[in-house]
């Protein structure tokens, strides 16, 4: 009887161990599998390099600011941080290619992707900070001129990315908790582990999602294919099929306590 009990306990322990392995595998593999069905390309940020002369904080007259670190960009208003780009990675990837299909069955078809960013110059005016540089591939065989304009007025930021010769731009944001969508363009729930196509002609000035920081984010222009990708840990990727992409950032409510990094 004792031997049978030992065998039974061993089998239970083995079954529990296998169940744990399956759960871990599900956590690891389910988001990429969902991504394949979405038609939105999983786009990991490349390397960010920044010349020393362009780093630092620029303050706007109303207390808002933009800061470029060696690790990324931060936009803040008088109430605190609105958004960070992805930490220790390039804030932008550029594609050439096209989108086929309609509605939720659209698919990105890429011919080139360049995801490393080098920022070399900064221009500052009363209401605008402009960073210029290049976005390039790993072999440095393909590089494209890049401009990042950050304009601010009356508490509203415009984060504008332009890549010459690109068909699409991906803006890589640091993921914030409680990223809630605005229906009907995306579900009005906590968005995670999925990619979402925006409804066609959803206005560029109308928010798509909000975060724990109290920030609402709009995506433009309106007359192009746009998608939101939250499948990979730590990032919210904004896909906009235009060589010029724009995010509109406003604070609609105070940040949740302790939401600052």
Q: What is the CATH number of the domain that holds 44?
A: 2.70.98
Establish if 16 belongs to a structural domain: no
Instruction: Count structural domains, the chain.
Output: 1
Query: Nearest to residue 95, comparing CAs of 133, 33, 142?
Result: 142
* pLDDT tens for each residue of the chain, 261 residues long: 555 555 555 554 555 555 443 434 343 344 444 445 589 999 999 999 999 999 999 999 889 999 999 999 999 998 899 999 999 899 999 999 999 999 889 999 999 999 999 999 999 998 999 999 999 999 999 999 999 999 999 889 999 999 999 999 999 999 999 999 999 999 999 999 999 999 988 999 999 999 999 999 999 999 999 999 999 999 999 999 999 999 999 998 666 554 444
Establish if 5 belongs to a structural domain: no
* Tokens found for residue 25: 């595998």
Establish if 212 belongs to a structural domain: yes
What's 54's DSSP letter?
Answer: G
CB 100 within 8 A of CB 108: no
Establish if 27 belongs to a structural domain: no
Establish if 2 belongs to a structural domain: no
Establish if 4 belongs to a structural domain: no
Establish if 150 belongs to a structural domain: yes
Establish if 1 belongs to a structural domain: no
Domain containing residue 127? 39-251
The DSSP annotation for 129-178 comes to EEEEEEEE-TTSS-EEEEEEEEEEETTEEEEEEEETT-SEEEEEEEP-SS
Backbone angles phi, psi at 55, to 5 degrees: -80, 165
């Amino acid at each position: 009887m004792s031997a049978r009990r030992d065998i039974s306990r061993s089998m239970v322990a083995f079954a529990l161990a296998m169940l744990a392995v399956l759960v871990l595998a599900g956590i690891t593999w389910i988001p990429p599998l969902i991504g394949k069905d979405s038609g939105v390309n999983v786009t990991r940020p490349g390397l960010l390099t920044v010349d020393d002369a362009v780093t630092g904080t620029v303050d706007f007259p109303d207390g808002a600011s933009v800061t470029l670190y060696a690790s990324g960009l931060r936009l803040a208003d008088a109430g605190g941080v609105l958004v960070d780009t992805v930490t220790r990675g390039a804030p932008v990837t550029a594609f050439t290619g096209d989108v086929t299909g309609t509605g939720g069955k659209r698919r990105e078809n890429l011919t080139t992707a360049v995801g490393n960013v080098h920022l070399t110059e900064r221009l500052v005016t009363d209401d605008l900070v402009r960073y210029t540089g290049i976005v390039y591939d790993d072999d440095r065989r393909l590089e494209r001129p890049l401009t990042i304009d950050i304009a601010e007025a009356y508490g509203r930021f415009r984060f504008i990315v332009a890549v010459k010769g690109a068909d699409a731009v991906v803006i890589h944001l640091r993921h914030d908790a409680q990223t809630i969508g605005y229906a009907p363009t995306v579900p009005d729930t906590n968005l995670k582990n999925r990619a979402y196509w925006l409804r066609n002609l959803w206005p560029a000035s109308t928010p798509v999602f909000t975060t724990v920081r109290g920030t609402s984010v709009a995506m433009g222009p309106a007359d192009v294919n746009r998608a939101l990708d939250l499948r990979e840990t730590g990032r919210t990727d904004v896909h906009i099929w235009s060589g010029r992409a724009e995010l509109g950032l406003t604070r609609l409510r105070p940040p949740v306590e302790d939401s600052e990094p």
